[in-house]
Protein backbone atom coordinates (compact mmCIF):
# COMPACT_ATOMS: atom_id res chain seq x y z
CA UNK A 1 0.00 0.00 0.00
CA UNK A 2 1.38 3.40 -0.99
CA UNK A 3 1.62 5.83 1.91
CA UNK A 4 2.80 8.83 -0.07
CA UNK A 5 4.44 9.89 -3.32
CA UNK A 6 6.38 13.13 -3.67
CA UNK A 7 8.39 14.91 -6.33
CA UNK A 8 11.46 16.15 -4.48
CA UNK A 9 12.50 19.78 -4.21
CA UNK A 10 15.96 21.10 -3.34
CA UNK A 11 14.72 21.79 0.20
CA UNK A 12 13.65 18.15 0.52
CA UNK A 13 17.18 17.07 -0.41
CA UNK A 14 19.17 19.53 1.70
CA UNK A 15 16.99 19.98 4.79
CA UNK A 16 14.00 17.80 5.61
CA UNK A 17 11.50 15.88 3.55
CA UNK A 18 8.11 17.46 4.23
CA UNK A 19 5.50 14.80 3.65
CA UNK A 20 2.59 15.67 1.33
CA UNK A 21 -0.81 16.65 2.75
CA UNK A 22 -2.38 13.47 1.35
CA UNK A 23 0.01 11.16 3.24
CA UNK A 24 -1.84 8.15 4.65
CA UNK A 25 -1.03 8.89 8.29
CA UNK A 26 -2.89 5.82 9.51
CA UNK A 27 -0.28 3.66 7.76
CA UNK A 28 2.56 5.19 9.81
CA UNK A 29 3.42 4.12 13.35
CA UNK A 30 1.38 6.08 15.93
CA UNK A 31 3.00 9.06 17.62
CA UNK A 32 1.11 8.40 20.89
CA UNK A 33 1.85 11.89 22.20
CA UNK A 34 5.50 11.90 21.11
CA UNK A 35 6.87 14.67 18.89
CA UNK A 36 8.96 12.21 16.89
CA UNK A 37 8.90 8.56 15.86
CA UNK A 38 11.55 6.38 14.23
CA UNK A 39 10.57 4.47 11.10
CA UNK A 40 12.90 1.76 9.76
CA UNK A 41 12.74 2.19 5.98
CA UNK A 42 14.27 -0.13 3.39
CA UNK A 43 15.62 1.87 0.44
CA UNK A 44 15.23 -0.36 -2.59
CA UNK A 45 17.61 1.50 -4.92
CA UNK A 46 20.34 1.61 -2.24
CA UNK A 47 20.99 -2.14 -2.29
CA UNK A 48 18.11 -2.65 0.15
CA UNK A 49 19.76 -0.49 2.80
CA UNK A 50 17.65 -0.13 5.95
CA UNK A 51 17.79 3.31 7.57
CA UNK A 52 16.09 4.52 10.75
CA UNK A 53 14.39 7.72 9.61
CA UNK A 54 13.09 10.11 12.25
CA UNK A 55 9.63 11.48 11.48
CA UNK A 56 8.46 14.52 13.41
CA UNK A 57 5.16 16.34 13.57
CA UNK A 58 5.43 20.12 13.78
CA UNK A 59 2.38 22.33 13.54
CA UNK A 60 0.45 19.38 12.12
CA UNK A 61 3.00 18.81 9.32
CA UNK A 62 4.95 15.56 9.05
CA UNK A 63 8.59 15.61 8.00
CA UNK A 64 11.46 13.16 7.74
CA UNK A 65 14.53 14.49 9.52
CA UNK A 66 17.47 12.54 10.90
CA UNK A 67 18.40 9.66 8.63
CA UNK A 68 16.70 11.20 5.59
CA UNK A 69 19.45 13.70 4.73
CA UNK A 70 22.14 11.01 4.95
CA UNK A 71 20.31 8.60 2.66
CA UNK A 72 19.32 11.38 0.21
CA UNK A 73 22.99 12.29 -0.10
CA UNK A 74 24.15 8.67 -0.33
CA UNK A 75 21.62 7.91 -3.07
CA UNK A 76 22.51 11.11 -4.92
CA UNK A 77 18.88 12.24 -5.02
CA UNK A 78 18.06 15.40 -6.96
CA UNK A 79 15.16 17.82 -7.22
CA UNK A 80 12.64 16.34 -9.64
CA UNK A 81 13.17 12.72 -8.51
CA UNK A 82 10.00 11.09 -7.20
CA UNK A 83 9.99 9.03 -4.00
CA UNK A 84 7.21 6.66 -2.98
CA UNK A 85 6.89 5.14 0.49
CA UNK A 86 5.07 1.79 0.64
CA UNK A 87 4.04 -0.55 3.42
CA UNK A 88 4.39 -4.24 2.65
CA UNK A 89 3.04 -6.72 5.18
CA UNK A 90 5.98 -9.08 4.60
CA UNK A 91 8.73 -6.48 4.35
CA UNK A 92 7.75 -3.38 6.31
CA UNK A 93 8.33 0.13 4.97
CA UNK A 94 10.05 0.43 1.60
CA UNK A 95 10.94 3.53 -0.38
CA UNK A 96 11.39 3.53 -4.12
CA UNK A 97 12.91 6.29 -6.25
CA UNK A 98 12.01 7.22 -9.81
CA UNK A 99 14.73 9.41 -11.25
CA UNK A 100 13.68 12.55 -13.08
CA UNK A 101 13.67 12.40 -16.89
CA UNK A 102 16.56 14.86 -17.05
CA UNK A 103 18.79 12.27 -15.33
CA UNK A 104 17.67 9.20 -17.25
- Lay out the sheet containing 82-88: strands in order across: 2-7, 82-88, 92-98, 36-43, 49-58, 61-64, 17-18
Residue 43: give its domain's CATH number. 2.40.330.10
Give the pLDDT confidence score for residue 102 in this predicted structure.
67
Rounded to whole angstroms, the Cα distance separating 36 from 20 reads 17
Q: Along the 104 residues of the chain, how does pLDDT read in single tens digits?
A: 899 999 999 999 999 999 999 999 999 999 888 899 999 999 887 676 889 999 999 888 999 999 999 889 889 999 999 999 999 888 799 999 999 886 55
Which structural domain, as residue segments, surrounds residue 68?
Answer: 2-103
Give the pLDDT confidence score for residue 1 in this predicted structure.
84
- Total domains, the chain: 1
Give the pLDDT confidence score for residue 45 in this predicted structure.
78
Give the pLDDT confidence score for residue 82 in this predicted structure.
97
Amino acid sequence: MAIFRKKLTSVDILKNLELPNDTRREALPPFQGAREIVIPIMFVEAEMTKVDVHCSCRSGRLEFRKGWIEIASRMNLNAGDVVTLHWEAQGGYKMRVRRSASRA
